[in-house]
């Protein structure tokens, strides 16, 4: 079981969700984060005050998957989130010690297998 954390451009979010859906990956969390990945800062002007926006809006996706789903998940994100310019983001794959499904109390593999799909553990 792995936790896949991806931080990428917010404007690619719809494309990423679409690609994950195609790869049959379900059950994820999205949050809006601010960060800096070395890209050129956006310059904005308000009433004569010019500012460089050091932090830019990014999307952070967290998804816990069984081992055989790690590869399709990562590939889907790589494909959909990439624009080729600096600031496309990162994907982190982390080991997971223990998982519980709150509703049923199921653990580990069973807890990350979507309802209705027989567990392949």
Partner 1 sequence: MNQADIAWMLVSTALVLLMTPALAFFYGGLVRSKNSLNTMMMSFVSLGVVGVLWALLGYSLAFAPGGAFIGGLDHALLRGVNLEAKGTIPHVLFMCFQGTFAIITAALISGAIVERMRFSAYLVFISLWTLCVYSPICHWVWASDGWLFTWGALDFAGGTVVHVNAGVAAFVAAIVLGPRKDYARQAFLPHNVPFALLGAGLLWFGWFGFNAGSALGATPAAALAFATTMLAPAAALVVWTLLDLMRNGKITAVGAATGIVVGLVAITPAAGHISPISAILLGGIAAIPSYYGLVFRARTRLDDSLDVVAAHGVGGTVGALLTGVFSEKAWSGVADGLLFGNPGQLGIQAVAVGATLLYSGVVTFGLLKLVGVLVPLRAEATDEGLGMDVTQHGEEAYMDGEGAILVLHEREAVVSPALASAAAGGRS
Binding site for partner 1 (CB under 8 A): 11-12, 14, 18, 34-38, 41-46, 49-56, 83
Residue 43 or 117 having the CB closest to partner 1: 43
Residues in the chain: 121
Closest CB 90 distance from partner 1, rounded Å: 12
Closest CB 62 distance from partner 1, rounded Å: 19
Instruction: Say how far apart CA 93 and CA 63 lie, in whole Å.
Output: 10
Residue 36 or 75 having the CB closest to partner 1: 36
Residue 33 or 96 having the CB closest to partner 1: 33
DSSP state of 12: G
Closest CB 35 distance from partner 1, rounded Å: 5
* DSSP of 6-48: EEEEGGGHHHHHHHHHHTT----EEEEEEE--SPPPEEEEETT
């Amino acid at each position: 079981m792995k936790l896949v954390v991806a931080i990428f451009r917010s404007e690619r979010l719809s494309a990423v969700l679409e690609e994950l859906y195609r790869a049959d990956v379900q059950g994820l969390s999205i949050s809006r984060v601010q960060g800096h990945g070395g890209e050129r800062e956006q310059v904005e002007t308000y009433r004569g005050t010019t500012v460089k926006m050091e932090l830019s809006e990014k999307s952070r996706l967290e998804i816990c998957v069984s081992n055989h789903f790690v590869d399709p998940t990562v590939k889907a994100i790589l494909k959909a989130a990439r624009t080729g310019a600096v600031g496309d983001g990162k994907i982190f794959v982390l080991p997971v010690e223990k998982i519980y499904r709150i509703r049923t109390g199921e653990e580990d593999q069973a807890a990350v297998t979507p309802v209705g799909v027989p567990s392949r553990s």
